[in-house]
Structure 1
Amino acid sequence: MNSHRYLLLLGTATDEEGRLRQARDGLKRHGRILARSGVVHGPSVVEGDATRYANQALLLSSELPREAFADWLKSLERHLGRRPGQATCVIDIDLVGECDAGGAMAWQNDAKLDAPLFRDLVAKVLRH
């Protein structure tokens, strides 16, 4: 079976690292974490949003093809308490890229990598 290597960004504005830990544990059901950045605590990357977040990037190997994996990520977010229109971001798990077997980016979601913080977190897991 073909294994895929996905780059993910995790974020939460709730209980900081506890929710990220729950997300990592959930991700292990359909993948294996190959590398992870440290957790960064700080303000939102959205101008005018005073919310503070905990963010982390992961490199994960999974047998699921990208579309099925992306759909499964949304169901994991719901399982962890994310609801449409929610004022507080309980958990956000974004699929931001896929690497080839050599570690080079084969696909990336540029819109999710606009913020320097997110590019830096992804760069850290790619250097593992």
Structure 2
Amino acid sequence: MATATYLIALGSNRRSRHGPPASTLRAAATRLPGRVTALSPVISSAPLGPSHRRYANAAALVESELAPPAMLSALKAIERDFGRRRGRRWGARVLDLDIVLWSGGRWQERALTIPHAAFRDRAFVLCPAAAIARGWRDPVTGLTLAQLRARLTGARAIPRSRPRW
């Protein structure tokens, strides 16, 4: 396979042997398979689901010759090496690595869907991603990451109420 570019989302909300979640993300970024061409700043976000711990989130652009299934397998191996264990969905985790986008457009198979199914609704993915790849277009909507982020996080006008008299 020719070299492809991947947008990888990184998340953590538990300490690892590398330290607190933000340090865990920085350590994980050095292990991503391929050449990391950009790494976003780490942001803090509220958890989804039952976890009560805040998350550290980031995004990375990675150039790799791996096909999407091989990239997924490599990311899962890194998660395991960092101490991630299968457990409750949406629970606390040492490390979460997800393929959000890749330069090949769409990919669909039982174990992997690209673009990531929920990334358009997650500010904790879009904010770091737009910081490093604002012009990358979602192959489904045609919108850039900057546009998707603005749609999700932008200020919304407060509807004017009509006077009741």
Q: Same fold (TM over 0.5)?
A: yes
1:121 has 2:128 as partner:
yes
Moved over 4 A (4+): none
Equivalences for 1:56-67 in 2 at 5 Å?
A: 56-67=58-69
Aligned residue type for 2:29: R
Are residue 75 (structure 1) and residue 77 (structure 2) matched?
yes
Q: Would you say how many aligned residue pairs link Structure 1 and Structure 2?
A: 120
Shift, 1:113, TM fit:
3.6
User: Which one is further off, 79-88 or 9-18?
Assistant: 79-88
Letter of the 1:11 partner, please give it.
G
1:19 and 2:19 equivalent? no
- State the identity as a percent: 33
Whole-Å Cα distance in 2 between the matches of residues 39 and 70 of structure 1? 22
Matched with 1:95 is 99
1:96-111 equivalence runs, <5 A: 96-99=100-103, 106-107=105-106, 108-111=115-118
- Cα distance in 2 for residues equivalent to 1:72 and 1:78: 10
Give yes or no for contact 2:51–2:92 (8 Å, CA) kept in 1.
Answer: no
Is 1:38 the counterpart of 2:45 in the alignment?
no
Computing the radius of gyration from Cα coordinates, the structure with the larger value is 2
1:71, 1:114 → 2: CA distance?
25
**TM-score, scaled to structure 2:** 0.65
Q: 1 CA distance for matches of 2:134 and 2:116?
A: 19
Q: Tell me the residue number matched to 2:52.
A: 50
- Could you say which structure has the greater relative contact order, defined with CA pairs below 8 angstroms and 6 or more residues apart? 1
> Which ranges of structure 1 fall in alignment gaps of 5 or more residues?
101-105
Judge conservation of contact 2:46–2:54 (CA < 8 Å) in 1. Answer: yes
Q: How big is the shift at 1:48?
A: 5.7
- The whole-number CA distance in structure 1 between the counterparts of 2:24 and 2:50 is 24
Gaps of 5+ in 2: 15-19, 107-114, 136-165
Cα deviations by residue, 1:37-57 (Å, 9 ceiling, x for unpaired): 11001311x256432010001
CA distance in 1 between partners of 2:30 and 2:128 (Å): 19
1:97 and 1:21 map into 2 onto residues whose CA distance is: 20
